[in-house]
Amino acid sequence: MVHLRERYLALLVKKSLKFSPIVSIFGHRQVGKTTLCEQIGGQYLTLDRPEILQLSLDSPDTLLNSINTSAKRGPLVIDECQMAPPLFPAMKEWVRIHKKPGQLLLTGSVRFSSRKAIRESLTGRTINWELLPMALSEAHSAPLPDSIRKLIEARSLEFELSPAPYFSIATYESALGRGGLPGIFAVRDASVRKQRFETQIETLLERDLRLLVQTSIDYRTLRNLLSILAARQTLPIDLSEISRAARISIPALRKIISALESMFIIRVIETEGSRRKPVLFFEDQGEASHLAAGDRPDHLFHLTRFLFSNIRQQWVYRPELAHSLFQYRNRGGAFVPLAIRSSQRCLGLIPILNETPGRHDIASAQSFISSYPGARCIFTHLGKLDRIVGDSMRILPLSLLV
């Protein structure tokens, strides 16, 4: 599959450049930020090149003068600019003097807000967007799905949804194994894909992580920690247990987990209900599969992580929806692994192995619905059954959600 696709984020970036002098795109390494910027921007500079990095550290004003040469061809693209904090005060002064929109298009594989000097310089001066790993729909050049919004906003659950033509058991399994990073999932040779994952993980841990955390922990220990976290997706974060398994102190572990989230490797999700420990997911499930190879052969686990990586695009790329994601748990055992909150209501998603939910699934849905006014719950599976269960529950094939 050719990995060059029209990205859902492209239109939002183009609109933002019409009224903001600086637009920033964040996301995981290899998620496609550079390709997207090359399609939109003019002159392209990357701080991955040592000579450009040195110039941005020593003489950022000289680098910014490049904007004049690229003005007619689009914004000046500065890739991986978090590597040069001195560049940001210079950009602050530049846009104070030159107020024209669409001058700079920045990318970062580390959140700018995680570095104080960068955060203070850009506050209120840039529009920030996050580029997520490709979902199945985006990888197959399909329109952005809208099923989540419809399930939340419709007056009742009795309406028709169309199955995604690109969804099958084969594409489902492929997405879990290959993930959504264009430069990796499109590689046909499994051994080459494995090497690319390993090279990327080494860059993330040996370079990017150490930009954020001063640590003497060796690479092997850090990589083992990633494997432990990949296998513990969807579970409450137990720092004591993870600390023992990874042989990393709890204070160091807190800092590293925070840095991993700033690097778009993991996403921490809050939990509501009477059990409130947060949970985590990997941003790219191909990377998670590579790290946790052979662990947790649990089909519900795989369904849940697939859902996480294939539904968020539906509101992240529709910012007007302002939806947020959480998990629901209580001490009585009720469990809704993924829930979406909107201004109208909460929608719970419960993966099931069979086409009919069991007693525990129904009890979990009832607990969730009783906890939030107007809430609804969807049971989803890999089969074909689509059925209404009362006023607030519906059984849906996964193919109708993604």
Tens-place pLDDT, residues 31-72: 999 999 988 888 888 888 899 999 889 988 888 887 764 445
**pLDDT on residue 219:** 96
**pLDDT on residue 38:** 87
Please check whether residue 30 is in contact with residue 133, taking contact to mean a CB–CB distance below 8 angstroms.
no
C-alpha–C-alpha distance, residues 394 and 365, integer Å? 10
Q: Give percent of the chain with pLDDT exceeding 90.
A: 72
Please check whether residue 217 is in contact with residue 249, taking contact to mean a CB–CB distance below 8 angstroms.
no
* Assigned token pair, 348: 């719970």
Task: Give me the domains of the chain, ranges plus CATH numbers.
Answer: 10-130 (3.40.50.300), 139-165+300-400 (3.40.1350), 169-269+279-297 (no CATH)
Instruction: Please compute Rg for the chain using Cα positions.
Output: 22
Phi then psi for residue 262, to 5 deg, are: -65, -25
119 pLDDT band, cuts 50/70/90, is low
**pLDDT on residue 295:** 64
Over residues 7-31, mean pLDDT: 94
Q: Which of residues 129 and 67 earns the better pLDDT score? A: 129
Instruction: Please state whether beta strands 346-351 and 376-381 pair in parallel, antiparallel, or not at all (unpaired).
Output: parallel
Judged against a pLDDT cut of 60, whether residue 114 lies above it is answered with: no
Over residues 252-277, mean pLDDT: 95
Q: Which of residues 293 and 201 earns the better pLDDT score? A: 201
Burial (CB count <10 Å: 0-12, 13-18, 19+), residue 190: exposed
1 pLDDT band, cuts 50/70/90, is very low
**pLDDT on residue 2:** 44
Over residues 245-267, mean pLDDT: 96
**pLDDT on residue 72:** 59
DSSP letter string, 83-137? G-TTHHHHHHHHHHH---SS-EEEEESS-GGGSHHHHHHHTTTEEEEE-PPPPHH
Which pTM does this prediction carry? 0.92
Judged against a pLDDT cut of 60, whether residue 7 lies above it is answered with: yes
C-alpha–C-alpha distance, residues 95 and 72, integer Å? 17
C-alpha–C-alpha distance, residues 357 and 146, integer Å? 24
CB atoms near residue 185 (< 10 Å): 22
**pLDDT on residue 48:** 86
Over residues 349-367, mean pLDDT: 96
161 pLDDT band, cuts 50/70/90, is very high
Q: Which residues of 230-263 are buried (b: 16+ CB within 10 A; e: fewer)?
A: bbbbbbebeeeebbebbebeeebbebbbebbbbb
Judged against a pLDDT cut of 80, whether residue 122 lies above it is answered with: no
Handedness of CA 347, 350, 355, 360 (dihedral sign): negative
Residue 159 contacts by C-beta under 8 Å, 6 or more apart in sequence?
Answer: 150
In eight-state DSSP terms, residue 328 is: E
Q: Which of residues 225 and 294 earns the better pLDDT score? A: 225
Over residues 157-167, mean pLDDT: 95
CA nearest neighbour of 152 among 9, 8, 307, 321: 321
Q: Mapping DSSP to helix (H, G, I), strand (E, B) and coil, where does residue 159 land?
A: coil
* pLDDT averaged over every residue in the chain: 91
Look at 142-156, 287-301, 360-374 and tell me which has the smallest mean pLDDT. 287-301
Angle at the Cα of 86 from the Cα atoms of 81 and 91, rounded to 5 degrees = 70
CB atoms near residue 117 (< 10 Å): 13
- pLDDT tens-place string over residues 370-389: 999 999 999 999 999 999 99
Burial (CB count <10 Å: 0-12, 13-18, 19+), residue 374: exposed
Please check whether residue 203 is in contact with residue 29, taking contact to mean a CB–CB distance below 8 angstroms.
yes
- pLDDT tens-place string over residues 181-224: 998 998 889 999 999 999 999 999 998 898 889 999 999 999 99
* Assigned token pair, 391: 């006023």
16 pLDDT band, cuts 50/70/90, is very high
- pLDDT tens-place string over residues 94-104: 888 888 898 99
Over residues 352-378, mean pLDDT: 96
Q: Give percent of the chain with pLDDT exceeding 70.
A: 93
**pLDDT on residue 82:** 81
CB atoms near residue 214 (< 10 Å): 7
Judged against a pLDDT cut of 90, whether residue 329 lies above it is answered with: yes
Residue 24 contacts by C-beta under 8 Å, 6 or more apart in sequence?
Answer: 105, 106, 107, 108, 112, 122, 126, 127, 128, 129
Count CA within 13 A, CB hemisphere, residue 61.
2
